[in-house]
Amino acid sequence: MVALFYSPKKHVSMQLQKATRQQSRIKLSLSGSAGSGKTYSALQLAKGICNEWDKIAVIDSENYSASLYAQLGPFQVVNLAAAFTPESYIEAIKLCEGSGIEVIIIDSISHEWSGKGGCLDLHEKETSRMKMQNSFTAWASITPRHQAFVDAIIQSSCHIICCIRSKTEYLLTEKNGRQVPQKVGMAPITRDGFEFEVSIHFELDQQHKAFCSKDRTGLFMDKDPFVITPNTGNQLLEWCMGGDAPAADDVTRRINDCKSLNELLQIYKSFPQYKLSLLPEFELRKRQLIITQDIKTQLSNQPINQNGTH
């Protein structure tokens, strides 16, 4: 049974339908302190997910650290250097998507937040430019840029693994009858709440073991810490492919709901089985979006007379 509800304000119909899990692309994060094995673990996961090294790309902001694992296989690398703006990460993600990459590893997203040219740096510069400095108000221009970065991850047609640096602290532990300092990772270095955006979050310790603190798949929650291997990626791939294939009507609805050409392109890439059968729908929505964009551009470029009219 399908129930329709019509909103009188927006005149948009809503559907009530039975919940079904559809095939998807995994979005997950790995956090840990230095030396916990984030990069290596991410590569092991990626290998298990797609089984082809040349379909794996690392967006590397960690001073070429991913290339130190080149002996594992011929994976691709996009090396980022400062400034680590949200837009530079988005550009790298789009490059990977357009190059046939199946799994993207972002190592690490911490620089987008706290690195040179990252959001905290941008916020500080924005605050200093204000006549009456207001730290809260300065976020108005930075938050949308960070959100665009998050959206690029979540809406990507690729599997994405995000590596996150953790703040490091030392705890005294007993070893061979002596108290010795042990390095532990604490809070991930990125904007609060990022873990809500991903399906799985692993925390890595100094023994390179992963503890799952969030798991929408149900594969790893409440299990003892373990070392990530390609088999972990295989499990994730099986879960991703275990859902129902989306129906043509569902994809058509997504096409018609698109608000931008980039969003339409992501849908086109995400459902290759409908590239031919739904090509007319894709082309129609593309033309509609281009026309809408051209009208907005023409209106914004129209001169305004002194009396305030066009």
pLDDT value of residue 252: 86
| Second CATH level (architecture) for the domain 27-241 | 3-Layer(aba) Sandwich (3.40)
* Cis amide bond preceding 108, omega within 30: yes
Cα–Cα distance measured from residue 204 to residue 187, given in angstroms and rounded to the nearest whole number: 12
Degrees, nearest 5: CA angle 185-103-154: 70
89 contacts 122 by C-beta, under 8 angstroms = no
Cα–Cα distance measured from residue 220 to residue 199, given in angstroms and rounded to the nearest whole number: 12
Of 70-74, 87-91, 217-221, minimum mean pLDDT range? 217-221
- Domains of the chain, by residue range, sit at 27-241, 245-301
Tokens 């989306």 sit on residue? 246
pLDDT digits (tens, 9 = 90+) for 258-274: 888 877 887 887 777 78
Q: Report whether pLDDT(13) > 80.
A: no
Q: What distance lies between CA 215 and its chain's CA centroid?
A: 16
Rounded to an integer, the average pLDDT of 66-87 is 96
β 178-188/159-175 pair status: antiparallel
pLDDT value of residue 23: 72
User: Which residue spans within the chain are E strands per DSSP?
Assistant: 3-6, 13-16, 27-32, 56-60, 76-79, 103-107, 159-175, 178-188, 200-204, 209-215, 226-227
Q: Report whether pLDDT(3) > 60.
A: no
